[in-house]
Amino acid sequence: MGKRFMYMNTKAPYGTVYALESLEVVLIGAAFEQDVSLAFIGDGVYQLKKGQDTQGIGMKNFSPTYAALGDYDVNKIYVEKESLEERGLSLDDLQHLVWEDEDEDWAEKDSIKLVSRSELADVIDDQDVVLSF
Amino acid sequence: MTTLHTVNKSPFSSSSFDDCLGLAKSGSTVLLFEDGVYAATTGTSSAEAITNANGVSFAVLGPDAKARGVEGKIADGIKVVDYDGFVDLVAEHDKVHAWL
Amino acid sequence: MKLGIQINEGPYQHQAADSAYQFAKAALAKGHEIFRVFFYHDGVNTATRLAVPPQDDRNITQEWTELQKEHNLDLVVCIAAAQRRGLMDEDEAKRQGKDANNIAEGFRISGLGQLIEAGIECDRLVTFGA
């Protein structure tokens, strides 16, 4: 399965380019058949907020791209619980990201794993490469 | 797996130092460099957090502290390294996690 | 050790390119191999041929060009980030119908796959950014 790659997302979308350009790395990276996980912590959780409408600010709404991640075999998306709570958000506020498990008759499964800070620390600890943006 | 965490922002302007401490596991090392060196200076709550961090080692990049005139203010128990030491820290840990 | 370096910020605006340079020099002096230096986000601006910084301070682009020459480093500028920010080599400029190119000596433009490859091939990936 190759190396375990973890993409760290700590920044909100639109105010800076990091969210968009890190997503572009994920999509390209998917072709390399490594073991990919994404982590959203701190303001990074805002990237997954549903209902983004960017018409008024004249920027491209790239949030639909997160929904396509499942098709790229990127289905381990860790969202830190404490970061959500600090921001008055819950899982319901985020996009519902899914993937289809071909080993289970293409059953639709949730890609987002809500984890506590300490659980996430263990997940990150297990990774071979951490990509930060 | 051991991790070298790198923090390059002042703890007063960014949450990256706190965020890093919240996720760093025992056995890992945090390298404070660029503006992150301020977290290692005496009389700050960050230096106190460093003292209380169990099992996590801290290092500060000397040249960055010197550049900022705070090399004489680094709290006890924090190793001062130069770029050679930075390279060694990278080699000694299994991976590097940059907090940006 | 085989090292990969990622630089996420532009020269002078942040210390990233400087820190990465000092780190790279130290690593090379210790006999480590630098597999690739990958410039992403505003980091692509490090590759401009057109910078004329004040003479009494470091010339970041030139530092990297010289280090590349001395150690045959692979300095890669991400094409997607470069296109957004207007960094072009001769081929790209022709392809895009632009009237100029501006990549400095020693840098090459390539895809994001080069960063992933660095992650796969290297023992350590070190990221400098903000």
- pLDDT beyond 90 at C39: yes
φ and ψ of C30, to 5 deg: -85, 0
Q: Which residues of A43-58 are buried (b: 16+ CB within 10 A; e: fewer)?
A: bbbbbbeeeeeeeeee
Contact B100 C8 (CB under 8 A): yes
What separation in angstroms does the CA of B39 have from each of B4, B47, B65, C69?
17, 6, 10, 37
Contact B83 C22 (CB under 8 A): yes
Which fold is adopted by the domain A4-132? Hypothetical Protein Ychn; Chain: A, (3.40.1260)
Contact B83 C125 (CB under 8 A): no
Average pLDDT score over residue span C8-32: 98
How many structural domains are present in chain B?
A: 1
Instruction: Say which of A21, A32, A129 has its CB closest to residue C40.
Output: A21
Chain A residues near any Cβ of chain C (below 8 Å) = 2-3, 5, 17-18, 21, 24-25, 28-29, 31-32, 34, 129-133
Q: Does B55 touch chain A (CB under 8 A)?
A: no
Q: What are the DSSP calls for A29-63, one per residue?
A: HGGG--EEEEEE-GGGGGGGBS----GGGT----T
How many structural domains are present in chain C?
A: 1
The pLDDT assigned to C35 comes to: 98
Any idea what DSSP says for residue A71? Answer: G
Active site residue C78: yes
Q: What is the CATH number of the domain that holds B46?
A: 3.40.1260.10
Contact B1 A127 (CB under 8 A): yes
- DSSP reduced 3-state for A96: coil
Contact A42 B19 (CB under 8 A): yes
Instruction: Say which of C80, C120, C129 has its CB closest to residue A24.
Output: C80
Measured CA to CA, the distance from residue B44 to residue B34 in angstroms comes to 17
pLDDT (tens digit per residue) in B12-68? 999 999 999 999 999 999 999 999 999 999 999 999 999 999 899 999 999 999 999
Contact C125 B90 (CB under 8 A): no
The pLDDT assigned to B1 comes to: 85
Q: What is the CATH number of the domain that holds C52?
A: 3.40.1260.10
Which domain, by its residues, includes C45?
A: 2-128
Instruction: Say which of B82, B86, B100 has its CB closest to residue C130.
Output: B100
- How far from chain centre, in Å, is Cα C111? 13
Q: Which residue in the block uniquely carries the two structure tokens 């390298």?
A: B31
- pLDDT beyond 70 at C30: yes
Strand-pair category, B95-99 with C2-7:
unpaired
As given in the structure block, the two tokens for residue C27 are 């690593």
Name C95's Cβ contacts closer than 8 Å, sequence gap at least 6.
Answer: none
Q: What separation, in Å, do the N-terminal and C-terminal C-alpha atoms of chain C show?
A: 25
- pLDDT beyond 90 at A1: no
Measured CA to CA, the distance from residue C55 to residue A17 in angstroms comes to 32
Give a three-class secondary structure readout of B66-100. Answer: HHCCCHHHECCCCEEECHHHHHHHHHHCCEEEEEC
| Residues B32 and B65: beta-carbon distance below 8 Å | no
Helices marked H in C30-112 — which ranges? 60-71, 79-85, 90-96
CA distance C56 to chain A (A): 32
Measured CA to CA, the distance from residue B64 to residue B76 in angstroms comes to 17
pLDDT (tens digit per residue) in A67-83? 999 999 999 999 999 99
Q: Does A41 touch chain B (CB under 8 A)?
A: yes
Chain C residues in contact with B33 (beta carbon < 8 A): 19
